[in-house]
Amino acid sequence: MSKKYELKSKETKTILKYAKENNIEIKSFCNIGVCGKCTVKVLEGQVSKPNARERRKLGEDRLKEGYRLACQTKFSKKVIIEA
């Protein structure tokens, strides 16, 4: 079962880094965008544009639906994710 989380940061960080620093459990393995275990859905907020690793792993359709790799996606300010 997935949960919604509101993330707030004054610095630009990856979603995964923020989650680890704040005891939010997001499954991860490789931390470099290869395994895809850290896939989350961004529900609200502004995040970095998808990079080549995300495009290969997730595909355009999933990216359009809001799915991103937490280890590759950066944000600052506030985002709401489902993990």
The ranges assigned to domains in the chain are 9-77
**In the predicted model, what is the mean pLDDT of residues 30-43?**
96
Radius of gyration of the chain from its Cα atoms, rounded to whole angstroms: 11
Q: What is the pLDDT of residues 44-83, one digit of tens each?
A: 999 999 999 999 999 999 999 999 999 999 999 999 999 9
Confidence of residue 30 (pLDDT cuts 50, 70, 90): very high
pLDDT computed for residue 2 by the predictor: 87
Domain spanning 9-77: CATH 3.40.190.10: no
Quick one: pLDDT at residue 63? 98
Nearest Cα to Cα of residue 78 among 33, 25, 20, 11: 11
β-pairing, 74-82 vs 67-69, is unpaired
Strand partners, 47: 75
Residue 1 DSSP class: -
Flag whether pLDDT at 1 surpasses 80: no
- Inter-residue contact 75 to 49 (CB < 8 Å): no
pTM exceeds 0.75 for this model: yes
